[in-house]
Structure 1
Amino acid sequence: MELKPALEAVLMVVDEPATEEHLAKVLERPRREVADALRELADEYDVQGRGFQLRLVAGGWRYYTRPEYAQAVESFVLDGQQARLTQAALETLAVVAYRQPVSRSRVSAVRGVNCDGVMRTLLQRGLVEEAGAEPETGAILYRTTNYFLERMGLRGLDELPELAPFLPEAEAIEAETQEGVPSFDPDAPDAPDSEHADDKTEL
C-alpha cells in the first residue's frame, strides 16, 4: 500500500486524534516515515486550499474543517440550532483549565456561585474528568481531558492563552468568596446535605 493514501483512508474513520505510533503500528511502517508523510499531507492540503486540514491536536492527527468554512458546516450539521456551552459552563471550564487539578468547592469559590450542576454537565460531555482526591479534605479533584484539547484545537495545556494579566483580579475574587463558600463539593467529607445546599446553585 502507498503510505499517504493509506493514512488518508484511516484518518477518515477515526473518532479521535490518531497518534503517529498507532498509525505506524497499524500500517506496519517506521514511525518517522509516518510522521513525515503526515506533515507532507498537511502541507499539501494547505497549498491546495482544501476545505479541510490535517492537524496535530492532543497528541494525535485528525481531519478538521478549515476555519473559513466552519459556518457552512455549522449550518449543514446544526441546521440553525445552537449547540454551545452556556456562559456559566464556559466560565467553569476555564477555571478548571487554568487551576487544575481543582475541587468543585474551589471552582465555586472562584466563581462565587455553586457550580455542581455545571460540573456535572462538563463531566457528561467529557470535557473534564476526575483526577484523584485532595489530601487535606478528601474532595475529588478535576482536570480537563484530551477531548477538551481536541475541541479547543490545542496540542497541550501549555498552549492555553496567557492568563497572567488577569491573575491578580482572579485571586482577589477567590479570597473574597472563599469564606462564604465553605464547601459546595458533595464529594468532600463535610459537604452539606443537598436538601440544605445554598440557594445559589447554578444549573
Structure 2
Amino acid sequence: MRRADIKNIIEAILFSSTEPVGIEQLNIAINEELSPKEIEKMLTMLIDEYKDNNRGIQIIKVNDKYQMCSNEEFSDYIKNVVGNPKKRYLSQATLETLIIIAYKQPITKNELENIRGVKCDKVLKTLTDSELIYEAGRLNKTGKPIIYRTTDEFLKLLQIDSLEKLPSISTQV
C-alpha cells in the first residue's frame, strides 16, 4: 500500500472516531507491518499539514493517542451553528480536589481527605460524573480502597497532551 493511502486511512480513522486513537490501534486497522515510528511520522505530517494550511480542523495528541477536533481559532463561528458547549464550572473544593488527584495520582479517597481535611464524597462524584477522573482500580490492602486517576478529558480541558506537561509545584511558601 502506498504511503499516501496509509496517511489518508489514518486521517479517515481519526475523523470517524469520537475518542482518541493510539498508534497500535491505527496499525491494527491499517493491517500493515509498520513500525510505531512510521505511523507517528505520518501523524506528524498530518498535524503539520493542518497547521500549515490553517485548516478548520486539527489533530491533537492526548496521552500518546491522537484525536481530530475543530481548530480553536474558529470556535466563535462554530458556536453560531452548534451553540455554546456546556461550560464547566468547578467549585473551589472540586478544583482543589482535582488538582490534588492530578499531582498525586493514583490516590485513594482517604488520602484525599487526609490532605484536604474534609470529606470528599460529593466532590469525587462530581468529578467522576464530569469525566475528569475515573476509578482506576482498587488497592490490595484492607478495605480494598478505590484509587482515582485523571482522564484524557482532563488533559483536553487543560489543553495539554500528557501529565508531564503539568506545571511543577513549588514546595516553598
Is there any run of 5+ residues in structure 2 with no aligned partner, and where? none
Q: How does 1:1-203 map to 2 (within 5 A)?
A: 2-29=5-32, 30-31=34-35, 32-74=37-79, 76-77=81-82, 79-80=83-84, 82-87=86-91, 88-130=93-135, 131-133=137-139, 135=141, 138-164=144-170, 167-168=171-172
Distance 1:19 1:124 in 2: 25
The letter for the 2-side match of 1:73 is I
Give the alignment's Cα RMSD to 1 decimal.
2.6
Q: CA deviation at 1:125?
A: 3.0
Q: CA deviation at 1:42?
A: 0.7
1:117-162: per-residue Cα shift (whole Å, max 9, x none)? 1101222233222342274775332222344334433332211111
Q: CA deviation at 1:3?
A: 1.9
Distance 1:95 1:70 in 2: 31
Q: CA deviation at 1:61?
A: 1.1
Secondary structure at the counterpart of residue 114 of structure 1: coil
Q: Indicate the structure (1 or 2) with the bigger Cα radius of gyration.
A: 1
Q: CA deviation at 1:18?
A: 0.9
Q: Report percent identity of matched pairs.
A: 31
Q: Is the 8 A contact 1:134 1:140 kept in 2?
A: no
Secondary structure at the counterpart of residue 118 of structure 2: coil
How many residue pairs get matched? 166
Q: CA deviation at 1:65?
A: 2.5
In the superposition, relative to structure 1, how do residues 69 and 121 fare at CA in structure 2: closer, same or farther (>3 Å)? Answer: same
In the superposition, relative to structure 1, how do residues 161 and 74 fare at CA in structure 2: closer, same or farther (>3 Å)? Answer: farther
The letter for the 2-side match of 1:156 is S
Q: CA deviation at 1:12?
A: 0.8
- The structure with higher relative contact order (CA 8 Å, sep 6+) is 1
Distance 1:147 1:132 in 2: 22
**Larger displacement relative to structure 2 (137-146 or 111-120):** 137-146
The letter for the 2-side match of 1:154 is I
Q: CA deviation at 1:44?
A: 0.8
Secondary structure at the counterpart of residue 21 of structure 2: coil
In the superposition, relative to structure 1, how do residues 108 and 55 fare at CA in structure 2: closer, same or farther (>3 Å)? Answer: same
User: Could you state the TM-score of these two structures normalised by the residue count of structure 2?
Assistant: 0.79
Q: Is the 8 A contact 2:139 2:147 kept in 1?
A: yes
User: Could you state the TM-score of these two structures normalised by the residue count of structure 1?
Assistant: 0.69
